[in-house]
Structure formats: structure tokens, C-alpha cells
Amino acid sequence: MTTQGERPAPPAGQDTVAPADRRGHGPGRRRAVLWCAVAVVAVGAGWVVSRPNPGDLIPGLGPTSGQSKKAQPAPGLASAQPLTEAQAFTSDHYFPAADTVDLGAFQAARTAARDGADCTETLTDRGHDPLHGTGCQGYVSVGYTRTDDQIVSSVTVLRFADAQSALKARQALTDPTVLAFLAADTAPSGAVPSGAAPSASAPASPASSASPSGAPAPRPAEVLRVEPVGHYLTIAVSRYADRRTTAPVGDTALADATRAVSYTARAPFVWM
């Protein structure tokens, strides 16, 4: 018997914990288990995403094992490595055919281009080589024709190991007219076509350089500029397309043309 207000004693063998206390322990354990499951899922997802090819493991994402290989340039391709100075020293690299000369009133398009490592290919007479011993490492030659076809210009850029060698070549090149004039996409007089083997034992002599009597033909009127720029030497010359030997009094067309193409030739090398 119990007195009023007292709880009856639980039957023998039953839990003595209050029902409210039992309800408090049940949901707490379930929440703990749920959070553990969430943590496991998060860790697993992070591991999958960190794999090199997660698309191979996650349905619906699509395979990605081949994408990383495609993004890398194939070994041995020129685009995978920057060009060296010697490799970049070509007419198409520095003077592309699509680029015109547009300076002041002078406008011209590129009509010829040649380049190579043998600087004697720029000479009209290989038996007389003023560049011998100067250390010339290569050349680029381009020709330009004014838009009205009245003026043609020839530009030659010689490359040396250093600025001192370029100055030495400038001093040795007392007569820059020994360089071949390049105006059209054919080998200039006295020059060996690009890719052909040089023949120093048989120096060329332009057929047009001698008159029928055997005397040298008069040179066409021209304006020439020679400028060293760092370890490069630029030679620019312009003449009338009809090769006239005299210029009209007060005519500055040749000077304007030479100034424009000379500036175009020097510009790529000013900051090198």
C-alpha cells in the first residue's frame, strides 16, 4: 500500500529510469548516427572529386580520363616550346606578307622575301665578300613595291652575335650596293635561291650589269640607308621601278620610300 501522492514501485526486473529519460536518449543516438553518416558521405564525395578523372566514377558526369591528355600539347610540336632568336629570324616572322608599309604618304606591299644562315647569299659578287670575318649569323631580305608600282624597295637585315660585331660589319660594308637588290619573288641578280647550295668558286655577275660594249651599265638612281640596331644591321634601298638613272629635280620619292622601309626594318629590333 502506498500513501497518496507517492508513485507505485515498479515491478521487479523492469527499468527504473523514467519514461521521459528514456525518450531523451533515443533521439540523441539517432542524431549522432545521422551526422556520422553525413560525414562519411562528404569525405567520400571529396575523395571522388579529387581524383584526376572524377567523371569515370560519378554516373552522369561522363568520362574525363581522355580530356587531360588532349589539353596537353603533343611532345615535339613547335607550339609547345618558344622559338629561339635564330629560329624566329625569318622574313615571315618579322615581315609578314599581309603587313603593308604605311608611313606618311608612303604605302607599299611586300612582294619578295628570302632568308637564310649564309650571309653571302645576299651578295651580288661572292668573290668580294666584305662581310667575311664579321661573324654574320644570318639574314632576312624582303622587297616592297609602292602601291602605284612606281617605286621598289629592298631591305636586308643581317644578324650578329653582339652589337660590336654589327658595328664592325657596318664599317666593313663601305659599299652597301654590293648587296643584291630584292624586289620580286625571284632570286635577285647574283644571289643563290633560298635552299640552293652556295657556289663561291663561281661568283655570279648580273647580265644586266654590263652594256653590250662590255662596260658596266650605269646604276639606277637610288637612295640607301644603313643603320645598326643592337646586334642587327639593316640596309634599305629604293629605286624607280623602270630603273631610271636620274631622279627629277626636287623629287623626294626615293628618299621617302627608303625612310619608310628603313623604319619598318628597324622597328622589330629596337628593344631587343
Q: State the average pLDDT over residues 173-197.
A: 65
pLDDT greater than 90 at residue 43: no
| Residue/partner pairs of 159-164 with CB below 8 Å, 24 or more apart | 159/85, 159/86, 159/89, 159/231, 159/232, 160/134, 160/135, 160/136, 160/231, 160/232, 160/233, 161/135, 161/137, 161/231, 162/231, 163/228, 163/230, 163/231
pLDDT greater than 90 at residue 102: yes
Cell representation of residue 168? 664592325
The values of phi and psi at residue 258, to 5°, are: -65, -40
pLDDT at 216: 74
State the burial class of residue 123 (Cβ atoms within 10 Å of its Cβ: 0-12, 13-18, 19+). buried
pLDDT greater than 80 at residue 50: no
Residues 6 or more apart whose Cβ sits within 8 Å of residue 161: 135, 137, 231
What would the pLDDT profile of 212-255 be if each residue is shown by its tens digit? 566 777 889 999 999 999 999 999 999 999 999 999 999 999 99
Radius of gyration of the chain (CA): 41
pLDDT at 80: 61
Residues 6 or more apart whose Cβ sits within 8 Å of residue 45: none
Which H, E and C letters describe the chain, residue by residue?
A: CCCCCCCCCCCCCCCCCCHHHHHHHHHHHHHHHHHHHHHHHHHHHHHHHCCCCHHHCCCCCCCCCCHHHHHCCCCCCHHHCCCCHHHHCCHHHHCCCCCCEEECCEEEEEEEEEEECCHHHHECCCCCCCCCCCCCCEEEEEEEEECCCCEEEEEEEEECCCHHHHHHHHHHCCCHHHECCCCCCCCCCCCCCCCCCCCCCCCCCCHHHECCCCCECCCCCEEEEEEEECCEEEEEEEEECCCCCCCCCCCCHHHHHHHHHHHHHHHHHCCC
Residue (of 254, 211, 255, 272) closest to 85 by Cα position? 272
Distance from C-alpha of 183 to C-alpha of 145, rounded to nearest angstrom: 7
pLDDT greater than 50 at residue 194: no
Rounded mean pLDDT of the chain? 75
pLDDT at 35: 65
pLDDT at 11: 54
Q: State the average pLDDT over residues 164-180.
A: 93
- Count other C-beta atoms under 10 Å from residue 205's C-beta: 13
User: Domain spans of the chain?
Assistant: 23-64, 84-194+219-269
